[in-house]
Structure 1
Amino acid sequence: MTIINVLTADGEKRTLHSPKKKNINHLTLYDCVSPEVQNSINETGRVTNFF
């Protein structure tokens, strides 16, 4: 069994500079993207800590 980890950041306690490593099996996956995140990806191709 392969363990898949993802890096998570909430923007407050955990920023993109210090994300937390989480096992994907311990997360709830949603089929949606925050409008702020989507706009940032569309405009710059990445997500930053600056809004």
Structure 2
Amino acid sequence: MDSTSDITIGQVVKSKAGRDKGRIFLVLDIVDDQHILIVDGDLRKLDNPKRKKIKHLIVYNTVLPEVKYKCDNNIKMNNAFIRKLLVPFNKSF
């Protein structure tokens, strides 16, 4: 599971280690085969994403296409947009 082939930009992940344990994040970027950048629009804002090891995350099958589209096309997003997208996940997990 430590391969980035399972992970794509816009995917929903949950931290299972560290001080942010249990929080839901979105994948903003893939750094290398072991690290990704994650944001939640609250603690981890878009201008300061968290670099995290993939093995410290629970990867969900959900990919938010609007985030992937905006990242791929360099369309600006704001933190409120990220928080709004994550609301249903914070309730259900």
**TM-score computed with the length of structure 1 as normaliser:** 0.63
Q: Based on CA coordinates, which of the two structures has the bigger radius of gyration?
A: 1
Structure 1 residue ranges, 4+ long, deviating more than 3 angstroms after superposition:
44-47
Aligned residues: 45
Query: 1:13 deviation in Å?
Result: 1.3
Task: Choose from 24, 31, 34 the match for 2:61.
Answer: 31
Query: 1:33 deviation in Å?
Result: 2.5
Task: Point out the structure with the larger strand share.
Answer: 2
Task: Choose from 21, 37, 58 the match for 1:7.
Answer: 37
Whole-angstrom CA distance in 1 between matches of 2:48 and 2:59: 21
**TM-score computed with the length of structure 2 as normaliser:** 0.39
Whole-angstrom CA distance in 1 between matches of 2:44 and 2:59: 19
Query: Which residues of structure 1 form unaligned runs of 5+?
Result: none
Query: Which residues of structure 2 form unaligned runs of 5+?
Result: 1-32, 82-93
Whole-angstrom CA distance in 2 between matches of 1:18 and 1:7: 9
The RMSD of aligned alpha carbons is: 2.6
Q: Which amino acid aligns with 1:39?
A: E
